[in-house]
Chain A
Amino acid sequence: MKLIVADKVNKYYTQGEERNHILKALSLVVNEGDFLGIIGPSGSGKTTLLYCLSSLETIDDGDLIVLGEKINQYTDKQIAKLRQETFGFIFQFYHLIPNLTAYENIMLASVIAKKVDEAKIMDLLDKVGMTEYKDYFPNELSGGMQQRIAIARALVNSPKVLFADEPTGNLDQQKGKEIMELLKKLNDEEQVTIILVTHNEDYLSYCKQTKTLIDGEFVDTK
């Protein structure tokens, strides 16, 4: 089943008088259960692509279809609903709310979606191996631990797609590997569709499909 379809998506950034063409008529299909890895050098447009696919940024041209619905002109309310029910996010810098505990950070995502299930939160904490740290604040946790909490938070509303923007970029190799294995496990066992953006080729081995983006264009697909 096609979860996301991007059709000739263009994105420009304007800086002063200069207009930069960041995504150049990119087309892409993400199916349910995919684990898509997008790789490319810095400035190639991979994060922008991820943000466009996940509606964090708007596209300037082309079509973006999610679960069969064109979302280009979605209202704020529709986009919010999409983020609550269909999308999950993890970022390089985790972006946890610093004054909420690990548990509360996960809980926040579920209360926003208005489907609080505390048993599920505990289950997710267990899955990411963070049960004993549930009352810790982010600054009291290591980078790897924070990323685990961020993954649990992203999964608490059972999203259909998980967008991962350089989730290991801030971690050492060992911790990065642990996170990748966790994602792989989620993809294999829970059928969570994952779109991963990374610049580390080593992690592409966890993906089912990879695309290389250079200067706003796909140059290679495996």
Chain B
Amino acid sequence: MLGVRNIFRDVFIKEAEARYPYADLIISYDEYSPARLINKRHLRDYDNIEHALAFFNLQVLTSYDGDMFYGQLFSSLPHEFEIFMDREISISGNEMIITNAFAKEKGVVVGDSITIDLLGKTLTYQVSSIMKEHAIFSGTSFFIDKTSLLESLYGLSQLSNFGNVVYLKTTQSEALYQALKTDTNYQNYAIRYAVDKDQIEQRITEQISMVILAGFIVLAALVIVLNSLFPIVLKDIYQEIGVFETLGDDRKLGYKVCFYQWVVYASISFVIGWILAQIVVNISAVIYGLNAFLLIDLAIVFYSVIILFGIILFSNFFIMRKYYQKEMITKIKDRRYVLTTIHTALLGLSVLGLIVFLSFKPLTPQYNALVIVGLSLYVSLNLTTLLLKGYGKLFSKSKTTFSLFQAKHMGDNKNIHQSLNVIFIAFIVVGIMLTTRFFISKQIDEVREMHQFNFLMLNIHDYDDAIIDELLTYDVTDAAPGMFYQHITAYTHDNQFLVIMFVSTEAVKFNQFYGYDISAVSPDVLSLDIPYVMLPSSYEKVYHLKVGDRLHIDLSPELRQVEFVVGGFIPTDFDQVVYTNLAEKPAIFGVNYNAVIMNANNPKEMMNVLIQNFGGRMFYLVDAQAAVADKLAQVENILIFFTVLTVFVIFSFLMVVFNNTRLKFASLKADYAKIKVLGISNQDNFMNLAKEFFILCGVLLVVGTLEVFVLSAYLKDMLLFFDYYKNMAASIPGVLIAFALVFLSLLISYWAYFVQISNIFVSEEIRTI
């Protein structure tokens, strides 16, 4: 769990490297680039460039055997494509190389003819080769020799240096990036890293902050689980240590014995744990779709060891110190179980603190949440103890075996209380993991429902109203001009953040197409001359923004630091879309429409019409539903990764519950043997255990549910530690499933507990006590 951020970083980096193995930097054009063609000739001036591959990479209308579809055209000089594909190729002017995925999907074989429509021309090629997918040459992609393509389109063959995207391999990507940014030949193009680490960091924050937070809850839970193990495992050593003292131990041996014992346990656990963690991470990665081995960062492994040993040393020291305070002879003679204690003063202070923090919230939201979560966990754990003690007291006057044995143990046997703490924390962890999982899933559904438009036409560099008129002559039912920018950097007075989708169109259309309601713009803001932005509600918390605050946005290389005012917040969990009214007065701000959002009666047919009529103008057509599906596929993959981790964590905690019951049995085995000698029957034991089981479940359900609700109300504020916020709330199904899982696990444990008690070999036990 400590390594999850690094693991995801590795996953995303490897994913990006797999997409662009032949490039470190990519030059393409953006919404405001004055030209659509990039000339790589000037790159010869840089001696740190290993290769520069100039490609035409376009979506084109493709036909095969009467079937029309969208294909990905890759076109370069053959030797560039060889570098791109990392293999030799052979192709002539009228030939085409396609991917094996393309061939499989459409049933194409070598020798077949495929037609493309580009810039108003229809060109036919013969499939000369079918190649295995490689990097971004995947799906319905195909390759055509650039010289022959340009000759067919323009009748020119001297444009070999041109392309709409240039892939650069360099030995010094950072230096080259900075140099190109200031190079007058390229500064107006979009230059980006093939493996963009800043973007990856943002993606990590967006997609896995909740996973990391859940991981910290698991870690906190593990501390409680480990803490519950120490007294049980050390119990038998206590008497022995008393004996050591009679032999002259200077009170160091006990520390050493316990410490070495734990070092041995921890070392074995560490090796097994590390191997298991590697397996889980790599299984998750395979399910995620990554074909690479992930190694958990050694530094993280080192920190895990330090934390594990730290907990051991700390607990060991305090338990032994307390134990050494007892009289030597008491240690040898006292075979009573360890009594549970409640630190009343500390509990009182915690309750008081909790009330104060819940009522007044004196700190920043994330620190308030941290204190509330910490205190509520402490109070809940003590509440379970208090409830059990209450049950114990309640039954203490009745004269039954249950009251004298089980109720007494439940009232004050520390092992039982620790065991309940473990079950409680398992319930919390499972509840939180499931709540998080359900929340991500719900979010995906919301985003899917949110985008209520079919197409987004981008890169309209020469927009005029005739485009809308033209669109409406086709099967388009509704179209609105606007602006659409991707990956805009916005600056507040103390922060900067990346906006993935910066959209401007009429507010009514935005509400209609995106399914929001942004009518509640502050009148003070509307009266200003500067454009306003409506931000996702999470930005209010993450970037401490409020209505009326100013922020600056780089819209293009020419339009930097344009001032905007915060007009309000959009109530959504999808925090990648920002609305602005920039498009209302384009002339004032010196910007032009560059996009059209539209709906059609028959989207599939309309796609072909749009490609045919606008593709040649190098407008970029986005199938909104496909794009959303693509974006969501990433999140869904994360969800799958998270689900694998969740299943593993849940399974681990259910094992902990099971194991803890076994330990409880081990600690009470002798007493059960004694009461069997006194004549208790298995039937009576069964009834008593059933009562104990249901009381534990009752306590668990009441306190655990309360705690899950407190945690899910405040954990979202703790996400702010990661500069992230999601309005996550407890999931009722999540809590119910968590309870059902823990209930089932406890039921199986108790059944095993009962079987073990029934099978106690009384005479052997009596002889060895």
Closest residue on chain A to residue B411 by CB atoms: A99
Report chain B residues within 8 Å CB of A96.
674
Contacts A107-B399, A139-B334 known; A97 to B762 CB distance under 8 Å? no
**Are B401 and A80 touching (Cβ within 8 A)?**
no
Q: How far is the CB of B398 from chain A (nearest CB, A)?
A: 9
- Say yes or no for A66: interface residue by CB 8 A criterion: no
Contacts A99-B413, A137-B336 known; A76 to B769 CB distance under 8 Å? no
- Say yes or no for A91: interface residue by CB 8 A criterion: yes
**Are B399 and A139 touching (Cβ within 8 A)?**
no
Tell me the bound Cα distance from A137 to B412 in angstroms: 15
**Are A108 and B675 touching (Cβ within 8 A)?**
yes
Report chain A residues within 8 Å CB of B252.
none
**Are A112 and B678 touching (Cβ within 8 A)?**
yes
Question: Which single member of B330, B679, B762 contacts A81 (CB below 8 Å)?
Answer: B679
Tell me the bound Cα distance from A76 to B412 in angstroms: 30
Chain A, range 71-113, C-beta contacts under 8 Å to B: 76-77, 80-85, 87, 89, 91, 93, 95-100, 104, 107-109, 111-113
Q: How far is the CB of A156 from chain B (nearest CB, A)?
A: 10
- Say yes or no for A51: interface residue by CB 8 A criterion: yes
Report chain B residues within 8 Å CB of A187.
none
Report chain B residues within 8 Å CB of A76.
681-683, 758
- Say yes or no for B647: interface residue by CB 8 A criterion: no
Contacts A99-B413, A116-B399, A139-B333 known; A47 to B671 CB distance under 8 Å? no
Of B333, B336, B404, B683, chain A has the most CB atoms within 10 Å of the CB of B404
**Are A99 and B401 touching (Cβ within 8 A)?**
no
Report chain A residues within 8 Å CB of B337.
98-99
Contacts A108-B401, A108-B675, A111-B404 known; A95 to B766 CB distance under 8 Å? yes
Q: How far is the CB of A140 from chain B (nearest CB, A)?
A: 9
Closest residue on chain B to residue A165 by CB atoms: B766
- Say yes or no for B50: interface residue by CB 8 A criterion: no
- Say yes or no for A29: interface residue by CB 8 A criterion: no
Contacts A108-B401, A112-B401 known; A77 to B769 CB distance under 8 Å? no
Question: Which single member of A80, A95, A100, A137 contacts B769 (CB below 8 Å)?
Answer: A95
Give 29 A-B contacts (CB < 8 Å), ordered by A residue.
Answer: A56-B762, A57-B762, A76-B758, A80-B676, A83-B678, A84-B679, A87-B679, A89-B677, A95-B677, A99-B336, A99-B409, A100-B404, A107-B399, A108-B404, A108-B405, A108-B675, A108-B678, A109-B678, A109-B679, A111-B401, A112-B401, A112-B678, A112-B680, A137-B336, A138-B335, A139-B330, A139-B333, A139-B335, A139-B336
Report chain B residues within 8 Å CB of A111.
399-401, 403-404
Closest residue on chain A to residue B409 by CB atoms: A99
**What is the interface of chain A mostly: helix, strand, loop, or mixed?**
helix
Q: Encode B659-693 as 1/0 by CB contact (under 8 A) with A.
A: 00000000000010011111111111000000000
Tell me the bound Cα distance from A136 to B769 in angstroms: 21
Tell me the bound Cα distance from A84 to B676 in angstroms: 10
Q: How far is the CB of A134 from chain B (nearest CB, A)?
A: 15
Report chain B residues within 8 Å CB of A99.
336-337, 408-409, 412-413
**Are A83 and B677 touching (Cβ within 8 A)?**
yes
Chain B, range 529-568, C-beta contacts under 8 Å to A: none
**Are A112 and B675 touching (Cβ within 8 A)?**
yes
Report chain A residues within 8 Å CB of B677.
56, 83, 89, 95
Report chain A residues within 8 Å CB of B763.
51, 56-57
- Say yes or no for B87: interface residue by CB 8 A criterion: no
Report chain B residues within 8 Å CB of A116.
399
* Given A95-B766, A98-B337, A139-B330, 7 new contacts (CB under 8 A): A81-B681, A83-B677, A83-B679, A97-B675, A98-B336, A99-B412, A107-B404
Closest residue on chain B to residue A141 by CB atoms: B333
Closest residue on chain A to residue B677 by CB atoms: A89
Q: Encode A191-215 as 1/0 by CB contact (under 8 A) with B.
A: 0000000000000000000000000
**Are A98 and B335 touching (Cβ within 8 A)?**
yes
Chain B, range 408-426, C-beta contacts under 8 Å to A: 408-409, 412-413
Report chain A residues within 8 Å CB of B343.
none
**Are A80 and B680 touching (Cβ within 8 A)?**
yes
Closest residue on chain B to residue A95 by CB atoms: B674
Tell me the bound Cα distance from A119 to B404 in angstroms: 18
Report chain A residues within 8 Å CB of B399.
107, 111, 116
Q: How far is the CB of A205 from chain B (nearest CB, A)?
A: 27
Tell me the bound Cα distance from A184 to B676 in angstroms: 27
Closest CB pairs A-B (n = 9): A83-B679, A84-B679, A80-B681, A98-B336, A56-B763, A57-B763, A51-B763, A98-B335, A139-B334
- Say yes or no for B767: interface residue by CB 8 A criterion: yes
Tell me the bound Cα distance from A158 to B333 in angstroms: 30
Report chain B residues within 8 Å CB of A109.
678-679
Of B671, B679, B681, chain A has the most CB atoms within 10 Å of the CB of B679
**Are A100 and B681 touching (Cβ within 8 A)?**
no
Q: How far is the CB of B340 from chain A (nearest CB, A)?
A: 12
Q: How far is the CB of A83 from chain B (nearest CB, A)?
A: 3
Tell me the bound Cα distance from A95 to B334 in angstroms: 13
**Are B333 and A113 touching (Cβ within 8 A)?**
no
Q: How far is the CB of A101 from chain B (nearest CB, A)?
A: 10
Q: How far is the CB of A206 from chain B (nearest CB, A)?
A: 24
Of A51, A77, A98, chain B has the most CB atoms within 10 Å of the CB of A98
Tell me the bound Cα distance from A87 to B412 in angstroms: 31
Q: Encode B560-592 as 1/0 by CB contact (under 8 A) with A.
A: 000000000000000000000000000000000
Tell me the bound Cα distance from A13 to B515 in angstroms: 79
Q: How far is the CB of B313 from chain A (nearest CB, A)?
A: 30
Of B330, B675, B676, B681, chain A has the most CB atoms within 10 Å of the CB of B681
Report chain B residues within 8 Å CB of A98.
334-337, 671
Q: How far is the CB of B669 from chain A (nearest CB, A)?
A: 13
Closest residue on chain B to residue A99 by CB atoms: B336
Report chain B residues within 8 Å CB of A87.
679
Q: Encode A123-137 as 1/0 by CB contact (under 8 A) with B.
A: 000000000000001
Tell me the bound Cα distance from A96 to B673 in angstroms: 11
**Are B681 and A104 touching (Cβ within 8 A)?**
no
Tell me the bound Cα distance from A72 to B330 in angstroms: 43
Report chain A residues within 8 Å CB of B766.
51, 56, 91, 95
